[in-house]
Amino acid sequence: GPGGPGPAEVGLGALPAELRAAVRALVGDLDALFAALGLREESFAVGALSRVVAAELASCAPARNRRRTATNKASVVFVDRTLDLAGAVGHHGDSLAEKILSVLPKLPGHKTDVMVNMVELTALQTTDESCNIIAPGCLAQPNDPAAKALWESFMNLKQKEAVMEARRHLVEAASRENLPIKMSMGEVTPEQLSSYTQLFRNNLKALENHCGLLQLVLATVQTLKHPQTSKWDNFLAFERLLLQ
């Protein structure tokens, strides 16, 4: 098309047989669509495979016949989206939500939620991380406005700010329940968040009122303490170095 051939031009004949068949099928579908719309198209291509598709559409006999009689003009741009794959496999860094979803084990039967170990909020004392006596917590808390707001923070804020939001929500909840909480300034640590959650453990009413929020805070604590998190940070630093 008018985009012109690139230095690594690939013809249809150079493609594997299965891909050639897929391109021809795609071109056939496009031709049928353009025929239904009465289009006489001018094709532009960005990317090697897009050029193959545009060239095949330009040269196939049914499309040529259609363009002779069609009355509506249109410009069609074919764009290779190969680089989209890079975004899907990259680490995008400073999102606490992304780390939680990557580090904690998946909730059985779910693809987008995780298991949060709730043993800390019970009288059960065990060091066995695989202990399944206590039902796991999770991230989805549709009936808890505070938890929903906190999860939005996990997705939209940088990790440092999101962790501070977790502390703020926890302090506000403890204050409403008249729990003996001592607000501290400075950097938020997983140990500090864990100590705050312990205040709710022996108060069943407070535990029930803020169960959703506590699940998200414990997910944060367990993610920050997880050994995979430090590896994640190392990978991020290496990716930034490669980009530079």
Shared domain for 42 and 77, answered yes or no, is yes
Among the three residues 59, 83, 107, which one is the final residue of a domain in this structure? 83
Q: Could you give the number of structural domains in the chain? A: 2
237 within a domain of the structure (yes/no):
yes
- Average pLDDT of 149-164? 92
Please give the structure tokens belonging to residue 140: 């989805």
Shared domain for 158 and 199, answered yes or no, is yes
Q: Is the pLDDT of residue 162 over 90?
A: yes
5 within a domain of the structure (yes/no):
no
Residue type, 56: E
Taking the CB of residue 78, how many other CB atoms lie within 10 A of it? 21
Confidence of residue 18 (pLDDT cuts 50, 70, 90): confident
Among the three residues 25, 53, 83, which one is the final residue of a domain in this structure? 83
Over residues 26-63, the pLDDT tens digits come to 999 999 999 999 999 999 998 888 999 999 999 999 99
Nearest to 104 by CA among 223, 232, 235: 223
89 within a domain of the structure (yes/no):
no
218 within a domain of the structure (yes/no):
yes
Among the three residues 61, 83, 105, which one is the final residue of a domain in this structure? 83
Shared domain for 147 and 226, answered yes or no, is yes
112 within a domain of the structure (yes/no):
yes
Q: Distance between CA 165 and CA 155 in Å, rounded? A: 12
7 within a domain of the structure (yes/no):
no
- Average pLDDT of 108-134? 80
Q: Is the pLDDT of residue 64 over 90?
A: yes
Shared domain for 51 and 156, answered yes or no, is no
Q: Is the pLDDT of residue 6 over 70?
A: no
Cα–chain center distance at 6 = 34
Shared domain for 166 and 233, answered yes or no, is yes
Shared domain for 173 and 235, answered yes or no, is yes
Shared domain for 103 and 218, answered yes or no, is yes
Over residues 186-212, the pLDDT tens digits come to 788 999 999 999 999 888 899 999 999
Shared domain for 145 and 74, answered yes or no, is no
Shared domain for 78 and 166, answered yes or no, is no
Q: What share of the chain is helix, strand, coil (3-state, %, to 5)?
A: 60, 10, 35
Shared domain for 172 and 233, answered yes or no, is yes
Shared domain for 27 and 146, answered yes or no, is no
Averaged pLDDT of the chain: 85
Nearest to 214 by CA among 161, 167, 180, 160: 167
1 within a domain of the structure (yes/no):
no
Shared domain for 68 and 101, answered yes or no, is no
Structural domain including 199 reads 96-243
